[in-house]
Chain A
Amino acid sequence: MTVGTVPAPRRRGLLGLGGGGWALVLPLVLFLAVFFLYPLVQMARESAAGGFAAYESILTSPVYRKVFGNTLTIAAATTAICLVLAYPYAYVMNRVSPRMRLALMAFVLLPFWASLLVRSFAWIALLQDSGLVNQALQALGLTDDPVSLIRTTPGVLIGMVHIMLPYMVLPLYTAMARVDDRLLLAASSLGANPRRRFVRVFLPLTLPGLAAGCLLVFTISLGFYITPALLGAPSQAMVGEVIAEQVEQFGLSTASALGIVLLTGTLVILVVIALLAKRLGRSAR
Protein backbone atom coordinates (compact mmCIF):
# COMPACT_ATOMS: atom_id res chain seq x y z
CA MET A 1 0.00 0.00 0.00
CA THR A 2 1.51 3.31 -1.05
CA VAL A 3 0.00 6.70 -0.63
CA GLY A 4 0.42 7.55 -4.32
CA THR A 5 1.79 10.82 -5.59
CA VAL A 6 2.46 12.44 -2.22
CA PRO A 7 6.24 12.11 -1.88
CA ALA A 8 6.61 12.19 1.92
CA PRO A 9 3.36 11.76 3.84
CA ARG A 10 3.60 13.48 7.21
CA ARG A 11 2.86 10.35 9.21
CA ARG A 12 3.70 7.25 7.28
CA GLY A 13 3.07 3.95 8.96
CA LEU A 14 5.96 2.87 11.10
CA LEU A 15 5.64 -0.74 10.05
CA GLY A 16 6.52 0.30 6.51
CA LEU A 17 2.89 0.19 5.42
CA GLY A 18 0.45 3.02 4.98
CA GLY A 19 -1.95 0.87 6.99
CA GLY A 20 0.39 0.33 9.95
CA GLY A 21 -1.94 2.33 12.16
CA TRP A 22 -4.78 -0.10 11.55
CA ALA A 23 -2.74 -3.08 12.76
CA LEU A 24 -2.16 -1.29 16.06
CA VAL A 25 -5.80 -0.34 16.49
CA LEU A 26 -7.14 -3.76 15.56
CA PRO A 27 -6.66 -5.47 18.98
CA LEU A 28 -8.64 -2.72 20.71
CA VAL A 29 -11.39 -2.81 18.11
CA LEU A 30 -11.68 -6.61 18.35
CA PHE A 31 -11.67 -6.53 22.15
CA LEU A 32 -14.42 -3.93 22.33
CA ALA A 33 -16.42 -5.75 19.65
CA VAL A 34 -16.39 -8.97 21.67
CA PHE A 35 -16.68 -7.68 25.23
CA PHE A 36 -18.60 -4.45 24.73
CA LEU A 37 -20.66 -4.42 21.53
CA TYR A 38 -21.58 -8.10 21.48
CA PRO A 39 -23.01 -8.07 25.04
CA LEU A 40 -25.17 -5.07 24.11
CA VAL A 41 -26.37 -6.79 20.92
CA GLN A 42 -27.02 -9.96 22.90
CA MET A 43 -29.01 -7.89 25.38
CA ALA A 44 -31.13 -6.42 22.59
CA ARG A 45 -31.81 -9.96 21.31
CA GLU A 46 -32.65 -11.15 24.82
CA SER A 47 -35.09 -8.29 25.28
CA ALA A 48 -36.94 -9.28 22.14
CA ALA A 49 -36.82 -13.01 22.87
CA GLY A 50 -40.56 -13.31 23.47
CA GLY A 51 -41.58 -11.03 20.63
CA PHE A 52 -42.03 -7.53 22.00
CA ALA A 53 -43.91 -8.67 25.11
CA ALA A 54 -41.26 -7.28 27.47
CA TYR A 55 -41.40 -3.85 25.83
CA GLU A 56 -45.18 -3.90 25.81
CA SER A 57 -45.34 -4.56 29.54
CA ILE A 58 -42.73 -1.84 30.22
CA LEU A 59 -44.43 0.81 28.14
CA THR A 60 -47.96 0.11 29.32
CA SER A 61 -47.50 -0.69 33.01
CA PRO A 62 -48.01 2.24 35.40
CA VAL A 63 -45.31 0.80 37.69
CA TYR A 64 -42.58 1.20 35.07
CA ARG A 65 -43.95 4.56 33.97
CA LYS A 66 -43.52 5.75 37.56
CA VAL A 67 -39.96 4.35 37.64
CA PHE A 68 -39.02 6.24 34.46
CA GLY A 69 -40.69 9.36 35.86
CA ASN A 70 -38.68 9.07 39.11
CA THR A 71 -35.48 8.53 37.17
CA LEU A 72 -35.96 11.64 35.02
CA THR A 73 -37.02 13.78 38.00
CA ILE A 74 -34.11 12.72 40.22
CA ALA A 75 -31.57 13.15 37.39
CA ALA A 76 -32.97 16.60 36.54
CA ALA A 77 -32.98 17.71 40.19
CA THR A 78 -29.39 16.44 40.64
CA THR A 79 -28.31 18.42 37.56
CA ALA A 80 -30.02 21.61 38.76
CA ILE A 81 -28.56 21.42 42.29
CA CYS A 82 -25.08 20.63 40.93
CA LEU A 83 -25.26 23.66 38.63
CA VAL A 84 -26.32 25.99 41.46
CA LEU A 85 -23.45 24.79 43.69
CA ALA A 86 -20.80 24.45 40.99
CA TYR A 87 -21.18 27.78 39.18
CA PRO A 88 -20.12 30.06 42.07
CA TYR A 89 -17.49 27.51 43.14
CA ALA A 90 -15.89 27.41 39.68
CA TYR A 91 -16.11 31.21 39.48
CA VAL A 92 -14.28 31.67 42.78
CA MET A 93 -11.69 29.06 41.69
CA ASN A 94 -10.83 31.30 38.75
CA ARG A 95 -10.47 34.43 40.86
CA VAL A 96 -8.30 33.31 43.82
CA SER A 97 -4.54 32.92 44.21
CA PRO A 98 -2.89 29.89 42.55
CA ARG A 99 -2.30 28.23 45.94
CA MET A 100 -5.94 28.62 46.97
CA ARG A 101 -6.99 27.38 43.53
CA LEU A 102 -4.94 24.22 44.02
CA ALA A 103 -6.68 23.62 47.37
CA LEU A 104 -10.15 24.15 45.88
CA MET A 105 -9.24 21.82 43.02
CA ALA A 106 -8.04 19.18 45.50
CA PHE A 107 -11.35 19.42 47.40
CA VAL A 108 -13.13 18.58 44.13
CA LEU A 109 -10.74 15.83 43.05
CA LEU A 110 -10.36 13.98 46.36
CA PRO A 111 -14.01 12.84 46.60
CA PHE A 112 -13.83 12.17 42.84
CA TRP A 113 -11.12 9.59 43.53
CA ALA A 114 -12.45 8.26 46.82
CA SER A 115 -14.47 5.07 46.72
CA LEU A 116 -18.10 5.50 45.76
CA LEU A 117 -19.22 3.01 48.41
CA VAL A 118 -17.20 4.65 51.17
CA ARG A 119 -18.91 7.93 50.42
CA SER A 120 -22.33 6.26 50.29
CA PHE A 121 -22.02 4.66 53.71
CA ALA A 122 -20.48 7.83 55.13
CA TRP A 123 -23.69 9.56 54.07
CA ILE A 124 -25.77 6.82 55.70
CA ALA A 125 -23.83 7.34 58.94
CA LEU A 126 -24.15 11.14 58.72
CA LEU A 127 -27.81 11.29 57.72
CA GLN A 128 -29.27 8.56 59.94
CA ASP A 129 -31.69 9.57 62.73
CA SER A 130 -28.92 9.56 65.36
CA GLY A 131 -26.28 10.89 62.93
CA LEU A 132 -24.26 14.09 63.02
CA VAL A 133 -26.51 16.02 60.64
CA ASN A 134 -29.60 15.41 62.76
CA GLN A 135 -27.65 16.19 65.95
CA ALA A 136 -26.54 19.49 64.40
CA LEU A 137 -30.08 20.34 63.32
CA GLN A 138 -31.38 19.64 66.83
CA ALA A 139 -28.56 21.58 68.48
CA LEU A 140 -29.36 24.56 66.28
CA GLY A 141 -32.99 24.27 67.38
CA LEU A 142 -34.20 23.79 63.82
CA THR A 143 -36.07 20.62 64.70
CA ASP A 144 -37.10 18.71 67.84
CA ASP A 145 -37.51 15.25 66.35
CA PRO A 146 -34.95 13.74 64.02
CA VAL A 147 -35.71 14.36 60.34
CA SER A 148 -35.72 11.21 58.20
CA LEU A 149 -33.01 11.77 55.63
CA ILE A 150 -32.00 8.29 54.52
CA ARG A 151 -34.48 6.24 52.51
CA THR A 152 -35.98 9.50 51.20
CA THR A 153 -35.66 11.44 47.95
CA PRO A 154 -33.68 14.29 49.61
CA GLY A 155 -31.26 11.59 50.81
CA VAL A 156 -30.68 10.32 47.25
CA LEU A 157 -30.24 13.87 46.00
CA ILE A 158 -27.61 14.65 48.66
CA GLY A 159 -25.68 11.48 47.77
CA MET A 160 -25.96 11.95 44.01
CA VAL A 161 -25.08 15.66 44.04
CA HIS A 162 -21.99 14.82 46.08
CA ILE A 163 -20.89 12.26 43.49
CA MET A 164 -21.74 14.32 40.41
CA LEU A 165 -20.49 17.74 41.55
CA PRO A 166 -16.92 17.30 40.17
CA TYR A 167 -18.38 16.53 36.72
CA MET A 168 -20.06 19.95 36.80
CA VAL A 169 -17.22 21.95 38.40
CA LEU A 170 -14.47 20.82 36.01
CA PRO A 171 -16.08 21.83 32.65
CA LEU A 172 -17.34 25.09 34.18
CA TYR A 173 -13.88 25.88 35.55
CA THR A 174 -12.30 25.27 32.14
CA ALA A 175 -14.90 27.39 30.33
CA MET A 176 -14.48 30.26 32.80
CA ALA A 177 -10.68 30.12 32.60
CA ARG A 178 -10.99 30.69 28.85
CA VAL A 179 -13.02 33.90 29.22
CA ASP A 180 -10.89 36.88 28.23
CA ASP A 181 -10.90 39.36 31.13
CA ARG A 182 -10.54 42.22 28.68
CA LEU A 183 -14.08 41.54 27.45
CA LEU A 184 -15.38 42.11 31.00
CA LEU A 185 -13.33 45.30 31.29
CA ALA A 186 -14.73 46.46 27.96
CA ALA A 187 -18.27 45.79 29.16
CA SER A 188 -17.64 47.79 32.34
CA SER A 189 -16.06 50.69 30.51
CA LEU A 190 -19.03 50.79 28.15
CA GLY A 191 -21.23 51.34 31.18
CA ALA A 192 -22.55 47.84 32.02
CA ASN A 193 -23.24 47.30 35.71
CA PRO A 194 -21.97 44.00 37.23
CA ARG A 195 -25.29 42.23 36.78
CA ARG A 196 -25.63 43.25 33.15
CA ARG A 197 -22.00 42.39 32.54
CA PHE A 198 -22.60 38.94 33.94
CA VAL A 199 -25.84 38.24 32.06
CA ARG A 200 -24.79 39.68 28.70
CA VAL A 201 -21.08 38.83 28.59
CA PHE A 202 -19.84 36.30 31.15
CA LEU A 203 -22.77 33.88 31.18
CA PRO A 204 -23.01 33.51 27.37
CA LEU A 205 -19.26 32.92 27.17
CA THR A 206 -19.42 30.12 29.76
CA LEU A 207 -22.52 28.55 28.19
CA PRO A 208 -20.60 25.77 26.37
CA GLY A 209 -19.03 24.59 29.66
CA LEU A 210 -22.37 24.84 31.38
CA ALA A 211 -24.04 22.75 28.67
CA ALA A 212 -21.26 20.14 28.79
CA GLY A 213 -21.50 19.89 32.58
CA CYS A 214 -25.29 19.56 32.59
CA LEU A 215 -25.20 16.96 29.82
CA LEU A 216 -22.58 14.92 31.66
CA VAL A 217 -24.34 15.09 35.04
CA PHE A 218 -27.81 14.40 33.65
CA THR A 219 -26.89 11.41 31.47
CA ILE A 220 -24.68 9.78 34.12
CA SER A 221 -27.38 10.33 36.76
CA LEU A 222 -29.96 8.48 34.65
CA GLY A 223 -28.06 5.21 35.08
CA PHE A 224 -27.40 5.41 38.84
CA TYR A 225 -27.86 2.25 40.85
CA ILE A 226 -25.76 2.13 44.05
CA THR A 227 -26.62 5.52 45.57
CA PRO A 228 -30.41 5.35 45.15
CA ALA A 229 -30.40 1.74 46.36
CA LEU A 230 -28.59 2.73 49.59
CA LEU A 231 -29.95 6.22 50.28
CA GLY A 232 -33.28 6.27 48.47
CA ALA A 233 -36.84 5.31 49.27
CA PRO A 234 -37.75 1.89 47.85
CA SER A 235 -41.03 3.39 46.59
CA GLN A 236 -39.06 5.96 44.55
CA ALA A 237 -36.79 3.46 42.76
CA MET A 238 -34.75 4.47 39.70
CA VAL A 239 -34.43 2.39 36.51
CA GLY A 240 -30.96 1.10 37.48
CA GLU A 241 -32.28 -0.45 40.68
CA VAL A 242 -35.21 -2.11 38.91
CA ILE A 243 -32.86 -3.60 36.29
CA ALA A 244 -30.62 -5.12 38.97
CA GLU A 245 -33.67 -6.42 40.84
CA GLN A 246 -34.95 -8.11 37.68
CA VAL A 247 -31.61 -9.84 37.08
CA GLU A 248 -31.64 -11.16 40.67
CA GLN A 249 -35.10 -12.59 40.02
CA PHE A 250 -33.93 -14.10 36.70
CA GLY A 251 -36.17 -11.76 34.71
CA LEU A 252 -33.38 -11.33 32.18
CA SER A 253 -35.67 -10.35 29.31
CA THR A 254 -37.41 -7.59 31.30
CA ALA A 255 -34.05 -6.41 32.62
CA SER A 256 -32.66 -6.36 29.06
CA ALA A 257 -35.67 -4.47 27.71
CA LEU A 258 -35.41 -1.90 30.52
CA GLY A 259 -31.70 -1.60 29.77
CA ILE A 260 -32.31 -1.02 26.07
CA VAL A 261 -34.93 1.65 26.85
CA LEU A 262 -32.51 3.38 29.27
CA LEU A 263 -29.61 3.14 26.81
CA THR A 264 -31.67 4.46 23.89
CA GLY A 265 -33.01 7.28 26.04
CA THR A 266 -29.53 8.25 27.18
CA LEU A 267 -28.14 8.22 23.63
CA VAL A 268 -31.06 10.22 22.23
CA ILE A 269 -30.62 12.87 24.94
CA LEU A 270 -26.86 13.00 24.27
CA VAL A 271 -27.33 13.45 20.52
CA VAL A 272 -30.18 15.97 20.79
CA ILE A 273 -28.36 18.16 23.31
CA ALA A 274 -25.07 17.93 21.40
CA LEU A 275 -26.85 19.08 18.22
CA LEU A 276 -28.63 21.88 20.10
CA ALA A 277 -25.36 23.02 21.66
CA LYS A 278 -23.70 23.06 18.24
CA ARG A 279 -26.49 25.19 16.80
CA LEU A 280 -26.40 27.51 19.82
CA GLY A 281 -22.65 27.85 19.54
CA ARG A 282 -22.95 28.71 15.87
CA SER A 283 -25.64 31.36 16.39
CA ALA A 284 -23.64 32.87 19.25
CA ARG A 285 -20.68 33.31 16.95
Chain B
Amino acid sequence: MKKPPVRWVALTAATVLTACFLLLPTLVVVPMSFNGSSTLGVFDGTWTTRWYDELLTSPAWRTAALNSLQVALGSTVLSTVLGTLAAWGLSKLGVYGRAIQGGSIAPVVVPPVILGVGLYSVFLTWQLNGTVLGLILAHTVLALPFVVIAVGASFAQLDPVYERAAASLGAKPFQTLRRVVLPLLLPGVVAGALFAFVTSWDEVVVSIFLTDAQTRTLPVEMWIQVRTQVTPTLAALGTCLLLVSSLALIAMQVLRRSERDA
Protein backbone atom coordinates (compact mmCIF):
# COMPACT_ATOMS: atom_id res chain seq x y z
CA MET B 1 0.00 0.00 0.00
CA LYS B 2 1.57 3.29 -1.12
CA LYS B 3 1.13 6.19 1.25
CA PRO B 4 0.91 9.81 0.20
CA PRO B 5 4.10 11.37 1.59
CA VAL B 6 2.62 14.75 2.63
CA ARG B 7 0.47 13.15 5.31
CA TRP B 8 3.45 11.27 6.71
CA VAL B 9 5.67 14.35 6.77
CA ALA B 10 3.00 16.18 8.77
CA LEU B 11 2.48 13.23 11.13
CA THR B 12 6.22 12.78 11.70
CA ALA B 13 6.69 16.50 12.37
CA ALA B 14 3.80 16.48 14.86
CA THR B 15 5.21 13.40 16.61
CA VAL B 16 8.74 14.83 16.85
CA LEU B 17 7.42 18.12 18.25
CA THR B 18 5.24 16.34 20.81
CA ALA B 19 8.16 14.12 21.82
CA CYS B 20 10.35 17.22 22.33
CA PHE B 21 7.58 18.86 24.34
CA LEU B 22 7.36 15.76 26.54
CA LEU B 23 11.10 15.37 27.03
CA LEU B 24 12.43 18.93 27.16
CA PRO B 25 11.26 19.99 30.64
CA THR B 26 12.00 16.53 32.01
CA LEU B 27 15.60 16.42 30.79
CA VAL B 28 16.52 20.10 30.94
CA VAL B 29 17.04 19.88 34.71
CA VAL B 30 20.23 17.89 34.08
CA PRO B 31 22.20 20.68 32.32
CA MET B 32 20.54 23.22 34.63
CA SER B 33 21.95 21.45 37.67
CA PHE B 34 25.57 21.76 36.39
CA ASN B 35 25.17 25.35 35.27
CA GLY B 36 27.40 27.95 36.97
CA SER B 37 24.87 30.78 37.05
CA SER B 38 23.02 31.15 40.33
CA THR B 39 19.76 31.92 38.51
CA LEU B 40 18.06 28.67 37.59
CA GLY B 41 17.76 28.12 33.85
CA VAL B 42 19.93 31.04 32.70
CA PHE B 43 22.98 29.47 31.08
CA ASP B 44 26.19 31.54 31.41
CA GLY B 45 28.53 28.97 29.87
CA THR B 46 30.28 27.93 33.11
CA TRP B 47 29.85 24.53 34.73
CA THR B 48 29.99 23.50 38.39
CA THR B 49 29.03 20.79 40.87
CA ARG B 50 28.41 23.40 43.56
CA TRP B 51 24.66 22.80 43.63
CA TYR B 52 25.20 19.12 44.42
CA ASP B 53 27.46 20.06 47.34
CA GLU B 54 24.79 22.41 48.60
CA LEU B 55 22.13 19.73 48.23
CA LEU B 56 24.15 17.11 50.10
CA THR B 57 25.24 19.38 52.97
CA SER B 58 21.89 21.04 53.62
CA PRO B 59 20.20 19.68 56.76
CA ALA B 60 16.72 20.64 55.48
CA TRP B 61 17.04 18.42 52.41
CA ARG B 62 18.51 15.56 54.42
CA THR B 63 15.64 15.63 56.94
CA ALA B 64 13.13 15.80 54.11
CA ALA B 65 14.73 12.89 52.26
CA LEU B 66 14.72 10.76 55.43
CA ASN B 67 11.07 11.62 56.11
CA SER B 68 10.14 10.76 52.53
CA LEU B 69 11.96 7.45 52.72
CA GLN B 70 10.24 6.46 55.99
CA VAL B 71 6.81 7.42 54.71
CA ALA B 72 7.33 5.74 51.33
CA LEU B 73 8.61 2.50 52.86
CA GLY B 74 5.85 2.44 55.48
CA SER B 75 3.04 3.04 53.04
CA THR B 76 4.54 0.60 50.50
CA VAL B 77 4.52 -2.21 53.07
CA LEU B 78 1.05 -1.39 54.40
CA SER B 79 -0.58 -0.94 50.99
CA THR B 80 1.12 -4.01 49.51
CA VAL B 81 -0.07 -6.23 52.37
CA LEU B 82 -3.63 -4.86 52.42
CA GLY B 83 -3.88 -4.72 48.63
CA THR B 84 -2.49 -8.21 48.00
CA LEU B 85 -4.78 -9.82 50.59
CA ALA B 86 -7.74 -7.96 49.13
CA ALA B 87 -6.87 -8.85 45.54
CA TRP B 88 -6.67 -12.48 46.60
CA GLY B 89 -10.07 -12.26 48.28
CA LEU B 90 -11.60 -10.34 45.37
CA SER B 91 -10.55 -13.05 42.94
CA LYS B 92 -12.86 -15.43 44.82
CA LEU B 93 -15.87 -13.15 45.12
CA GLY B 94 -17.06 -12.85 41.51
CA VAL B 95 -19.59 -10.07 40.95
CA TYR B 96 -19.31 -8.68 44.50
CA GLY B 97 -15.55 -8.73 44.09
CA ARG B 98 -15.77 -6.53 41.03
CA ALA B 99 -17.99 -4.07 42.90
CA ILE B 100 -15.54 -3.83 45.81
CA GLN B 101 -12.61 -3.56 43.40
CA GLY B 102 -14.40 -0.61 41.80
CA GLY B 103 -14.81 0.95 45.23
CA SER B 104 -11.17 0.44 46.16
CA ILE B 105 -10.11 2.37 43.06
CA ALA B 106 -12.18 5.38 44.21
CA PRO B 107 -9.21 7.24 45.81
CA VAL B 108 -7.85 7.79 42.28
CA VAL B 109 -11.05 9.55 41.21
CA VAL B 110 -11.24 11.88 44.20
CA PRO B 111 -9.12 15.00 43.65
CA PRO B 112 -6.17 14.91 46.10
CA VAL B 113 -6.97 18.40 47.39
CA ILE B 114 -10.29 17.09 48.67
CA LEU B 115 -8.75 14.06 50.35
CA GLY B 116 -6.15 16.40 51.85
CA VAL B 117 -8.79 18.65 53.42
CA GLY B 118 -10.83 15.68 54.68
CA LEU B 119 -7.84 13.92 56.24
CA TYR B 120 -6.56 17.18 57.70
CA SER B 121 -9.81 17.75 59.54
CA VAL B 122 -10.12 14.20 60.96
CA PHE B 123 -6.40 14.07 61.80
CA LEU B 124 -6.91 17.26 63.83
CA THR B 125 -9.10 15.29 66.25
CA TRP B 126 -6.94 12.16 66.11
CA GLN B 127 -3.76 14.23 66.58
CA LEU B 128 -2.13 12.67 63.54
CA ASN B 129 -1.31 15.92 61.72
CA GLY B 130 2.44 16.44 61.48
CA THR B 131 3.25 12.80 62.22
CA VAL B 132 4.98 10.21 60.05
CA LEU B 133 2.23 7.71 60.92
CA GLY B 134 -0.45 10.07 59.60
CA LEU B 135 1.46 10.48 56.33
CA ILE B 136 1.90 6.71 55.99
CA LEU B 137 -1.84 6.15 56.46
CA ALA B 138 -2.73 8.89 53.96
CA HIS B 139 -0.29 7.66 51.31
CA THR B 140 -1.55 4.10 51.79
CA VAL B 141 -5.04 5.27 50.77
CA LEU B 142 -3.57 6.77 47.58
CA ALA B 143 -1.36 3.77 46.79
CA LEU B 144 -3.95 1.01 47.40
CA PRO B 145 -5.74 1.34 44.04
CA PHE B 146 -2.47 0.73 42.18
CA VAL B 147 -1.63 -2.34 44.27
CA VAL B 148 -5.14 -3.78 43.89
CA ILE B 149 -5.00 -3.27 40.10
CA ALA B 150 -1.47 -4.65 39.65
CA VAL B 151 -1.93 -7.68 41.91
CA GLY B 152 -5.50 -8.20 40.68
CA ALA B 153 -4.17 -8.53 37.13
CA SER B 154 -1.80 -11.28 38.27
CA PHE B 155 -4.64 -13.10 40.06
CA ALA B 156 -6.74 -12.93 36.91
CA GLN B 157 -4.03 -14.95 35.15
CA LEU B 158 -3.60 -17.39 38.03
CA ASP B 159 -5.21 -20.74 37.37
CA PRO B 160 -7.34 -21.77 40.42
CA VAL B 161 -6.32 -25.37 39.70
CA TYR B 162 -3.00 -24.72 41.47
CA GLU B 163 -4.72 -23.75 44.72
CA ARG B 164 -7.00 -26.78 44.60
CA ALA B 165 -4.12 -29.08 43.75
CA ALA B 166 -2.15 -27.78 46.74
CA ALA B 167 -5.18 -28.22 49.01
CA SER B 168 -5.87 -31.72 47.76
CA LEU B 169 -2.25 -32.65 48.42
CA GLY B 170 -2.79 -31.66 52.03
CA ALA B 171 -1.31 -28.17 52.15
CA LYS B 172 -2.72 -25.92 54.84
CA PRO B 173 -4.11 -22.56 53.66
CA PHE B 174 -1.05 -20.66 54.88
CA GLN B 175 1.29 -23.15 53.21
CA THR B 176 -0.65 -22.82 49.96
CA LEU B 177 -0.32 -19.05 50.16
CA ARG B 178 3.40 -19.09 50.91
CA ARG B 179 4.55 -21.94 48.71
CA VAL B 180 2.17 -21.81 45.73
CA VAL B 181 0.17 -18.60 45.38
CA LEU B 182 2.77 -15.99 46.33
CA PRO B 183 5.59 -17.23 44.08
CA LEU B 184 3.20 -17.25 41.12
CA LEU B 185 2.06 -13.73 41.93
CA LEU B 186 5.43 -12.26 42.77
CA PRO B 187 5.86 -10.12 39.63
CA GLY B 188 2.44 -8.54 40.16
CA VAL B 189 3.10 -7.92 43.85
CA VAL B 190 6.49 -6.34 43.15
CA ALA B 191 4.97 -4.16 40.43
CA GLY B 192 2.24 -3.07 42.85
CA ALA B 193 4.80 -2.31 45.56
CA LEU B 194 6.89 -0.28 43.10
CA PHE B 195 3.82 1.71 42.07
CA ALA B 196 2.99 2.29 45.74
CA PHE B 197 6.53 3.48 46.49
CA VAL B 198 6.58 5.91 43.59
CA THR B 199 3.09 7.19 44.46
CA SER B 200 4.15 7.98 48.01
CA TRP B 201 7.62 9.27 47.09
CA ASP B 202 6.14 11.80 44.64
CA GLU B 203 3.00 12.77 46.59
CA VAL B 204 2.69 16.51 47.23
CA VAL B 205 -0.87 17.71 47.56
CA VAL B 206 -2.18 15.60 50.46
CA SER B 207 1.20 15.88 52.21
CA ILE B 208 1.10 19.68 52.11
CA PHE B 209 -1.96 19.56 54.38
CA LEU B 210 -0.62 16.92 56.77
CA THR B 211 3.03 17.89 57.37
CA ASP B 212 4.59 20.33 59.80
CA ALA B 213 8.11 21.79 59.85
CA GLN B 214 9.59 18.53 61.26
CA THR B 215 7.83 16.04 59.02
CA ARG B 216 8.13 17.73 55.64
CA THR B 217 8.68 15.20 52.88
CA LEU B 218 10.93 15.87 49.90
CA PRO B 219 8.13 17.08 47.59
CA VAL B 220 6.73 19.35 50.32
CA GLU B 221 10.17 20.86 50.96
CA MET B 222 10.51 21.39 47.20
CA TRP B 223 7.08 23.00 47.05
CA ILE B 224 8.04 25.44 49.80
CA GLN B 225 11.35 26.30 48.14
CA VAL B 226 9.83 26.68 44.66
CA ARG B 227 7.24 29.08 46.05
CA THR B 228 9.90 31.31 47.60
CA GLN B 229 12.75 31.10 45.09
CA VAL B 230 13.77 28.67 42.36
CA THR B 231 17.45 27.90 42.93
CA PRO B 232 19.82 25.61 40.99
CA THR B 233 19.93 23.33 44.07
CA LEU B 234 16.42 22.27 43.06
CA ALA B 235 17.75 21.26 39.64
CA ALA B 236 20.42 19.13 41.34
CA LEU B 237 17.72 17.43 43.39
CA GLY B 238 15.55 17.07 40.28
CA THR B 239 18.41 15.30 38.48
CA CYS B 240 18.84 12.84 41.36
CA LEU B 241 15.08 12.15 41.41
CA LEU B 242 15.06 11.69 37.63
CA LEU B 243 17.76 9.06 37.99
CA VAL B 244 15.72 7.22 40.62
CA SER B 245 12.50 7.27 38.59
CA SER B 246 14.32 6.16 35.42
CA LEU B 247 15.65 3.18 37.34
CA ALA B 248 12.15 2.41 38.64
CA LEU B 249 10.77 2.62 35.11
CA ILE B 250 13.44 0.25 33.79
CA ALA B 251 12.78 -2.16 36.68
CA MET B 252 9.10 -2.08 35.75
CA GLN B 253 9.81 -2.94 32.10
CA VAL B 254 12.10 -5.80 33.11
CA LEU B 255 9.39 -7.13 35.44
CA ARG B 256 6.75 -6.96 32.75
CA ARG B 257 9.01 -8.80 30.34
CA SER B 258 9.83 -11.54 32.85
CA GLU B 259 6.13 -11.94 33.62
CA ARG B 260 5.35 -12.32 29.93
CA ASP B 261 8.09 -14.89 29.46
CA ALA B 262 7.13 -16.89 32.53
Contacts and interface: CB of A to CB of B under 8 A. Distances in A.
Interface of A: 10-16, 20-29, 31-32, 35-36, 38-40, 42-43, 46, 85-86, 88-89, 91-92, 104, 106-111, 113-126, 128, 130-132, 162, 165, 185, 188, 194, 219-220, 222-223, 225-226, 229-230, 239-240, 243-244, 247, 252, 255-256, 259, 262-263, 266-267, 270
Contact of A247 (B23, B29, B209): B209
A28 B110 CA distance: 18
B112 A225 contact: yes
Nearest to A256: B117
A240 B26 contact: no
A270 B111 CA distance: 13
Contacts of B230: 121, 124-125
Nearest to A10: B160
B242 to A, nearest CB: 6
B86 A27 contact: yes
A263 B226 contact: no
Please classify the interface of chain A as helix (H, G, I), strand (E, B), loop, or mixed, using the class held by over half of its residues.
helix
Contacts of B117: 43, 243, 247, 252, 255-256, 259
Interface of B: 1, 4, 7, 11-12, 14-15, 18-19, 21-26, 28-29, 32, 39-43, 82-83, 85-86, 88-94, 97, 100, 103-104, 106-107, 109-122, 137-138, 140-141, 144, 148, 160, 163-164, 167, 173, 176-177, 198, 202, 204-205, 208-209, 219, 222-223, 226-227, 230, 234-235, 237-238, 241-242, 245-246, 248-249
A28 B82 contact: yes
B146 to A, nearest CB: 13
A263 B116 CA distance: 13
A25 B90 contact: yes
Nearest to B37: A130
Nearest to A270: B109
Contacts of B107: 32, 36
A42 B245 CA distance: 36
Given A107-B19, A256-B117, A28 B144 contact: yes
